[in-house]
Structure 1
Amino acid sequence: MITSLDHVVVLVNDIEAAAAAYQTLFARAPSWRNAGDGAARTLFTLDNATLELMAPDGESDAAKRIRTLLAEQGEGLASLCFRTDDIARLHRRLDRLALKPEAIAEVESRDDVSGATLSWKRTRTATEATRGVRMFFLELAKPRPLSVRIVPASITAMDHVVVSTADPERAAALYGARLGLDMALDRSHPEWGRLMFFRCGDLIVEVTSRPGKADETRPDRLRGICWRVLDIDATHARLAAAGVDVSEVRVGRKPGTRVMTVKSGTCGVPTLLVQPAPKLATVE
């Protein structure tokens, strides 16, 4: 019933500064700008997922709640939003699985630049039922517009989002059995801990648990994002020239991949870039 990870939300203090930082990182223009319900939003829609920047706007109760979250947690990843093609059916499933979904709401957004509108149906689950990670679920009426590439060596897509857990068994039950995501990998390593990959459309929800004894009652948390690039050397050169603090390019853990870490300009989101392994040609 869940078809993809539609978007992730990043809370920020200054929407304009955050939008400029991510435009530099992605080398793509914002695809949507909107303000309402106590928040200013800027969206970047890549080939397979959207990043939504959200900042408090005004003095409403909703804006005050966002400011409280920022004061408590700082800037960074705030929530996951999964897409479905049948929100009513998914709502019934979430309810049966005791994830306490809110009533389905119909939402419309108008882009402040173009005047275009988007509409969707949405619900959210109780955060305590999803181990501390805020989760939303939506059914879009039509696809979002893509962010336009403005210079070469842009970011193309999301590769994976990382969730950290102190209780891997319960996390596996949540993402696999209850949300219905396909577990593609479950591996343990004495240095890394336990690593689980759950397929979600064209990307992975990666759930990690560090080795050693941990407080299993501690809430899970959103830990970071990895983005795909076509040419990591060109992307490295572009970001370094723009003044972004980046690591050297290195060999990734997955055979054939090359990665680098982005150390600034991500609004508190730990960020990795990856050039995927080349696909082998098939012989017919």
Structure 2
Amino acid sequence: MITAVNHLAFAAHDVEAVASDYEIVLDRKAERYHAADGSPFCRFQLANVALEISAANGRAEGLTGLGFEVGDIKSTVHKLQRRGLAIGAITDQTFKSPSHAIARHHAEIDPASTHGVRFSLVETLSEPTPHMTSSVSGLDHVVIRSPNPERAVALYGGRLGLDFALDRTNADWGSRLLFFWSGGVRVEIGHALAKGVSDKPDSLWGLAWRVDDAARTQQRLQQAGINTSEAKAGRRPGSQVLTVRERTGNVPTIMLSATQKEADVTAA
């Protein structure tokens, strides 16, 4: 079954330009590969997830989906199909650079089965590349907007089998939030209370990256010429957050510092 979020998929009209922007935002160098068809493919490996940038090839530019890591793709596909998800054929993917190659089995879940959000299943065959140490350590959470929270519970907690950790409604925020965990990444489902419940599709919306110090991250990004908000207190006690306003490929992006408790857990 699903063990982690393997990667975030990003489609770019200019792969190198987007990768260069993210080298600044994520404070690390991209790994540059070529796909089997020769097209460029850039990858950022962080502690708990990778960001993968590939050629859009006619698609809209932006964040396009999530890839889930699985232990055995054949058995996972079989089980998820029995749970009502439509899944395409298992294929082999390879990406090569002069020093490393990525090999994996891959299967796409039909977005009609997941209410509009694109997910894939990945069984990694090659040795993972070690992640670099930088001020951006990993992904804190990915945000998906849903007009139908009960439908989301059935999909993420039921069919996909993610760990359903929290269901919280806050009138002050005007939202209902559902938290699901997968391999150290939180999948956050947000529902706007004012819009009511409908059968419209869900949408993959934004990213929250984890940083050591939000104020220092603000200084680093602004010195690189990137427009950000001021670092301010976050919703979690003891945390700080800032918004990155550009150079993210139009993906709504925040940087979130760990609380002391979270930092202690990470250090352990």
**Quick one: which amino acid aligns to residue 141 of structure 2?**
H
Paired residues, number = 263
Secondary structure, aligned partner of 1:166: coil
1:129 partnered with 2:108: no
CA contact (8 A) 1:29 1:147 kept: no
Contact 2:41 2:95 in 1 (8 A): no
CA 142–192 in structure 1, closer or farther in 2 if over 3 Å, else same: farther
Q: Return the TM-score normalized by structure 1.
A: 0.88
Of the three residues 63, 67, 82, the one matched with 1:96 is: 82
> Equivalents in 2 of 1:226, 1:143: separation in Å?
27
TM-score, normalised via structure 2 length = 0.93
1:242 is displaced (CA, Å) by 0.2
Report the Cα distance in structure 2 between the residues aligned to 1:17 and 1:35, rounded to whole angstroms.
Answer: 18
Q: 2:135 aligns with which of 118, 143, 154?
A: 154
Give the match's secondary structure for 1:129. coil
Judged with a 3 Å threshold, the aligned counterparts in structure 2 of structure 1 residues 213 and 233 are, in CA distance, closer, same or farther, namely closer
Q: Does 1:177 align with 2:178?
A: no
Distance, in Å, in 1 between the alignment partners of 2:249 and 2:38 is 20
* Alignment correspondent of 1:224: 206
**Residues 204-252 of structure 1, C-alpha deviation per residue, up to 9 Å, x if partnerless?**
0000000124462211000100000112222111111000111000111
- Per the TM alignment, residue 54 of structure 1 is displaced from its structure 2 partner at its CA by 1.6
Three-state SS of the structure 2 residue aligned to 1:255 is: coil
Counterpart amino acid of residue 118 in structure 1: I
Kept in 1: contact 2:36–2:94 (CA 8 A): no
Counterpart for residue 33 of structure 2: 33
Q: Report the Cα offset of residue 31 of structure 1.
A: 2.3
CA distance in 1, matches of 2:32, 2:160: 29
Q: Residue deviations 1:40-67, cap 9 Å, x none?
A: 32111111100011224xxxxxx3xxx1
Q: Indicate conservation of the 8 Å contact 1:3/1:83, yes or no.
A: yes
For 1:69-218, what aligned pairs fall within 5 Å after superposition?
69-70=59-60, 75-111=61-97, 113-114=98-99, 116-148=100-132, 154-190=135-171, 191-214=173-196, 216-218=198-200
- Cα distance in structure 2, aligned partners of 1:32 and 1:93: 34
The 1:47/1:176 distance shift into structure 2, 3 A limit, reads: same
Deviation for aligned residue 1:39: 4.3
CA contact (8 A) 1:31 1:148 kept: no
Matched, 1:50 2:36: no
5+ residue gaps, structure 2, are none
* Deviation, structure 1 residue 117: 1.6
SS of residue matched to 1:130: coil
Alpha-carbon distance change, 241 to 251 in structure 1, aligned in 2, over 3 angstroms = same
The percentage of aligned residue pairs carrying the same residue is 36
> Is the CA contact 1:28–1:147 (under 8 Å) kept in the aligned structure 2?
no
Q: Which residue of 2 aligns with 1:261?
A: 243
CA distance in structure 2 between the partners assigned to 1:143 and 1:211 by the alignment: 44
Distance 2:220 2:140 in 1: 20
2:77 aligns to what SS in structure 1? helix
RMSD: 1.8
Runs of 4+ in 1 over 3 A off after TM superposition: 35-39, 146-149
Partner of 1:244: 226
